[in-house]
Structures are given as structure tokens and as C-alpha cells.
Amino acid sequence: MYSPSLQRQLYERSKKLLSPQATLFEGDQSRLVEDLQQVLRFHEWKYYVQNDPVISDFEYDQLYKQLEALEAAHPDLITPDSPTQRVGKDLTENLAQVAHLTPMLSLDNSYDAEDLNDFDEQVKKLCKLDKEGDVEYCVEPKYDGGTIVLVYENDRLVRAATRGNGAVGDDITANIRTLRSVPLQAEFSKYGIHKVELRGEALIRKDIFEKINKARQEANDQIFANPRNAATGALRMKDPKEAAERGLEAFLYQMGYAVDNQDNNIIERFHSHDESIHLLESLGFKTPLANAGTRQHLPATKTCGSIREVIEFCVNWQEYRDEYPYELDGMVVKVNSIELQERCGYTSHHPRWAIAFKFKARQATTRLRDVEFQVGKTGAVTPVAKLEPVPLAGVTVSNVSLHNEEFIRAKDLRIGDQVLVERAGDVIPYIVKSLPELRDGSEQVVHYPKTVRFVIPCW
């Protein structure tokens, strides 16, 4: 779909649009909109279809917000195929597609307390509530995995699908049936539910992900950038046995559709979001209520009586995220009352009653400009990557240790490469992998020094 040269062009254009030079086309808003639409389509393809993103989630969000702002200011420039007019697409050609019972929308994003306060004000305005009063919210982890949609009918699992384009997803029923965390039958009928559609996330635990990447590296296979890539790839494997070996688990976090045997909508029987989640847990599903691996005083989910409690809970989780056994990229804040959710309604892109609080970005892409070799007192040689400075988890990174010659070879690093850099746990950053699909032929192999010259000073 995208040639190597076109991928390089779109990547470089993305970086320019993310820099202050994005004002280059200030006098030509039409051209800027076209550029943003083009690069966003490319990154959706890399993220959802190839499972191999070349920019971070935060960078994608910034490009998306640029396009949203431009289209809001110039509605005449909105086109039907603009990325803002649909949710992300992850359909593949080799799998059958199935329609969801209800649309799968995206979430709007927030990054700080001010954004959450603005969200709270909007909810009160939409629901015509006292702006000085408090709204009850349910806050739960925003898992960084592959979205799944499960359908149960007559208490049995009958279908599983990916999120797809929001209306249609890939049929992955055979693979989901291999997940022991997904019940093949559940007693929904005890609650008058004949047919139900559940939404959740397929995840790979961090320690299992590390073992998978180690095995792939030893086999000279391309390593995964993060657990999400490994999880989404497993969901689409043709052989269910291979999917089972990937160690997937499924967390279910929402009941999106429920009818009785007369096809009457019975979602309204549940007065709150957390009530429906407790029901799923009682039926044997793994839900965000699961407290495995968390601090005793910091539960995985919390029903908060005000936006102030929400902010405190989200900030605490941002500090704790690295100790949690699964990868998270934020927290999801939902109006707890089902009645108030209905009053808030939806846009074509996201529900107005929910928002994602995104944690600080821990991965970013940048260029490997050079490699310098530092010699220690014992004569040990340590290669150090010189990077184009890139902001990451609250700091600017420009130097990264490459450890040794074997590390450079295993990562296939070349001077001039675009590389994926990570800073987990606010500690020393490291290079996850190179991005060979963005090479243009000018990259240079790193030559490790064979001899070391010592200069002994004389007095």
C-alpha cells in the first residue's frame, strides 16, 4: 500500500508537522489539512494494520488535534474520508468481517487536571446540572492492548471480533476461544439477558512479553515494539494454537448491548457503569476490578464522588503504572450513572460521557545521528548513541547507552537510522529497535573499534 520511499516521506512530513515549522503553510490552510489527513491515514495503517507504529501515541494525538482544530475553524475543508470522520481501522484482508451490534467509538483524550476539569464542566452543562455540584465518575485502567468485542447468546460465546472500523471488525472467534480468561458460557439468562455484546482488551503480561521478545531476538525475528503490538498480532493469527502460545489474557470493561428474548433493550436496568462491571465479574469474567499486583491502598478501579477525586486517582496511577503487571497508557474516566450517560450522548467520534487521561509518553522516534565510544579506566569500551533531541517522559533525551557490540548487532542499528526510544519508569532511556522500513540507503553500519589507544600523561 505504501512504498518504502513514500513511508519515509510521510514519516519526515509528520515530524515537520509536529515541530514549530508546522506554521509553514499558515497562508494555505487547505494544503495543511490535506497534509495532516495524509500522514494520519499512513499512521493509522502502520498502527492498526501493520501493528508496527513509527511514531508514539502522543505524537499521533497531536497530529489528530491539529487536524481537528483546523477543520473546526474551516468546516468547508472537511472531507468524508478525513480521519476525524471515522474511528481507526484495523481490518485485514485475510479474515472474515462481522458487524458489531453497536458502534465502537474512540475516546477523547486529556493530559492534565485542566483537561479533566473542562470535561467535568461539559458533562454538567450537557446534563443541565448545577455547575457547583459533583458528578460521580468510575475510573479504570486504560489497557494498552488489542480491543475485542464478544457476543454471547443463550449464555454461550457465539462470536468475537476486533474493533475494526467501529462498525465492522475481523472475526477472531477461534483465537478468543483459546483464552482461558474468557468463559465459553456465562449465565446471563439469570438476569434476563438473552443476547449481549461485551467490550474488552486482550493483553500480554509484561514478563511474558519480555520472554517473547527474547525468543524472537534469538531467532533473528523482528521484535515487537511493545506488548500491544504482540497482542494485536496474536489476535489475527490464522492458527489458534499459535495465538494461544502468545499468553493472551482478556479484561472486559463494558456491556455495550443487552436485550431480552423479546429483543427489548435492558441496558437501562443497570443504574450505573460499576454495577454492570460487578455483574460481569460475578459471571466469571476478568474485569478492571481485578486487583492483582496493585498496592493495597490503590485499587485498579475507583468510583469517585467528584472530579477532584478523579484527578487525584489518575495522578497516583501515573506514578504507579510501572509496578502494574500489564501495560497501561492512561486511565478511563466514565460518568457512572447510565441515565446521565444517555443525557450526555455521543459525537460521531466519541461518547461525551467518557474521556481518557493519557499518561506521559514513554516511547518516541528520533534519528540516530552518530555513535561515540567511551573508554573506561579498565579499558572497557561503551558505545553511546547520539540522538536528535527528543522529549520523553518529561525530559529531553539526546544520549543513550548502547551497552556493547552485541547490542548494536542485535538491534541492527545504523548511523542515520530512525529509532524507537523508550524511557520506562522514568529511568535511563534505551533504544527498543531501529525502523529499517524508513531507510533511504544513506545509513552507515556502526564499526566497533578493534584497538584502544591510551595516552599516559608525563609530569
Q: Which amino acid is at 323?
A: E
Structure confidence by residue, pLDDT tens digits, 27-83: 678 888 999 999 998 888 887 666 678 888 788 888 988 998 888 888 888 887 788
Q: Which domains does the chain have, with CATH numbers?
A: 4-85 (1.10.287.610), 97-358 (3.30.470.30), 363-445 (2.40.50.140)
pLDDT score of 453:
61
Structure confidence by residue, pLDDT tens digits, 290-311: 765 455 567 889 999 999 999 9
Compute the average pLDDT of residues 216-222. 84
* pTM of the predicted model as reported, rounded to 2 decimal places: 0.74
- Mean per-residue pLDDT of the chain: 87
Compute the average pLDDT of residues 265-277. 91
What are the catalytic residues? Answer: 142
Q: How many CB atoms lie within 10 A of CB 38?
A: 16
Whole-angstrom CA distances from 13 to 25, 434, 440 are 13, 19, 15
Q: Which residues contact 422 (CB under 8 A, 6 or more apart)?
A: 362, 363, 392, 429, 430, 431, 432
C-alpha cell at 215: 525468543
Asked whether the predicted pLDDT for residue 88 surpasses 80, the reply is no
| Whole-number Å distance between alpha carbons of 368 and 398 | 9
